[in-house]
Amino acid sequence: MITVLRLGHRPARDKRVTTHVGLVARCFGASRMVITTRDDELVSRIQSVNDRFGSNFSVEYQRNWKNYIRSFDGIVVHLTMYGEKLGEVAGRIGHDGDLLVVVGSEKVPKEVYHLATYNVAVGNQPHSEVAALALFLDRYTGGAWEKEELGGKLKIMPSARGKKVETVS
Amino acid sequence: MITVLRLGHRPARDKRVTTHVGLVARCFGASRMVITTRDDELVSRIQSVNDRFGSNFSVEYQRNWKNYIRSFDGIVVHLTMYGEKLGEVAGRIGHDGDLLVVVGSEKVPKEVYHLATYNVAVGNQPHSEVAALALFLDRYTGGAWEKEELGGKLKIMPSARGKKVETVS
């Protein structure tokens, strides 16, 4: 099971970016996102996507991220541009047991670098935690998202032009 | 040369997401981002990343996106969850000449689906234009970003713990 811990979410400022983090987590193989600030709106936004497009992806609140990481029973990957290159570290990250992927917003507390099993850089350049998460999960799962069906009421049919959506009853 | 056209940017609402789109474009092999609403702050934010971390990535303003796409001399890829599956279409997209990658925000005008050479879905699920752009460019360039050096004044040295930054003089 893959969990994504989104650090430093501030509902007003990060509304859209954290939604993107959650939807990327859901689409690319994680089962839940943990946030450290309560945000009921965010929870319902993601729930509404589940309702229409499938999956039981959940958003959970944990007040204390430090305890949460410390007590996590599994591998902890922190995505940061300061980390080891994805291409070099990916092969060392085990696939047995649970995985916690930590993504920050602007400033990440120093302790995170030490609590993580691996600090992983998806490029040693500033870009986006949303992109970093997508590429990390893509590599970690061997591109499983390309085949995955999430079993929703609405199913988008791939199309060269326009929009084709089937309603599954 | 790869250009990213970001449709429907609204400076207040999309400030952070469009910045992510720009930084992902810059990091994953594009040379510029075109926006259709003036936003000087966004331009300086990206310029400041160039100044520190290298590259001549530019942000340009074009009022009329329709004319811009129509007069683009090259392949136009529109990233949309309604499109053809990335894994199936990627091999058909040529590598000669220029490429325009179009990413929308919430609602994308219908014409875009018809003006595009290819409508490409990075997963037929709702997630994020930032993630879609990163994964598309990753596949299109064959992961070239993993080796690319952008030649900035600051160079992040991959590190298992903490932050290592070299100042190049």
Task: Give pLDDT, residue A67.
Answer: 97
Check: CB of residue B44 under 8 Å from CB of residue B70: no
Give the integer Cα–Cα distance in Å for A93 and A119: 11
Of A28, A121, A160, the CB nearest to B158: A121
Cβ A165 vs Cβ A157: under 8 Å: yes
Q: What pLDDT sits at residue A4? A: 98
Residues of chain A contacting B24 with CB distance shorter than 8 Å: 127-128, 131
B41, A41 contact by CB (below 8 A): no
Tally C-beta pairs within 8 A across A and B: 160
Tokens 């460019």 map to which residue? B137
Q: DSSP character for A1?
A: -
pLDDT value for A12: 87
CA–CA separation, B112 and A161 (whole Å): 9
With contact defined as beta carbons under 8 Å apart, do B115 and B15 qualify?
Answer: no
Q: Which residues pair with A154 in a beta bridge?
A: A167
Q: What are the tens digits of pLDDT across the range B55-114?
A: 999 999 999 999 999 999 999 999 999 999 999 999 999 999 999 999 998 789 999 999
As a whole number of angstroms, the distance between CA B33 and CA B14 comes to 15
C-alpha distances out from residue A14 to A9, A52, B69, B101, Å? 6, 24, 31, 25
Question: Complex ipTM, two decimals?
Answer: 0.97
Per DSSP, B71 falls in state: T
- Is pTM beyond 0.95 here? yes
User: Which pLDDT does position A138 carry in this prediction?
Assistant: 98
Residue B167: pLDDT band with limits 50, 70, 90: very high
pLDDT bucket at B32, cuts 50 / 70 / 90: very high
Q: Which two tokens stand for residue A136?
A: 């990390």
Contact A154, A52 (CB under 8 A): yes
Query: What is the pLDDT at residue B169?
Result: 79
What CA–CA distance (Å, rounded) separates B19 from B17? 5
Per-residue model confidence as pLDDT tens digits over B119-145: 999 999 999 999 999 999 999 999 999
Q: Report whether A131 contacts A34 (CB < 8 A).
A: no
For the stretch A119-168, pLDDT in tens is 999 999 999 999 999 999 999 999 999 998 999 999 999 999 999 999 98
For A81-91, write each residue's pLDDT tens digit.
999 999 999 99
Which residues on A lie below 8 Å from B130 (Cβ)?
Answer: 20, 128, 130-131, 134
Least CB–CB distance from A128: residue in B23, B88, B160: B23
- How does the average pLDDT of chain B come out, rounded? 96
Helix B129-140 and helix B11-27, axial crossing angle in degrees, nearest 10: 20
Q: Output the pLDDT for position B12.
A: 87
Residue B139, helix vs strand vs coil: helix
Q: Give the integer Cα–Cα distance in Å for B114 and B118.
A: 9
How many other β-carbons are positioned within 10 Å of the β-carbon of residue B81? Answer: 20
Average pLDDT estimate for B2-28:
95
Nearest chain A residue to B122 by CA distance is: A146
Output the pLDDT for position A103.
98
In tens, the pLDDT along A22-80 reads 999 999 999 999 999 999 999 999 999 999 999 999 999 999 999 999 999 999 999 99
Domains detected in chain A = 2-167 (3.40.1280.10)
> Is the pLDDT reported for residue B33 higher than 80?
yes
Averaged pLDDT, A14-18: 93
Q: Which of residues 71-110 of B touch A (CB under 8 A)?
A: 81-88, 110
Give the alpha-carbon dihedral of B163, B166, B167, B169, to 10 degrees.
180
Give the residue from A130, A136, A155, A157 with the most B CB atoms within 10 Å of its CB, the best one to mutate.
Answer: A130
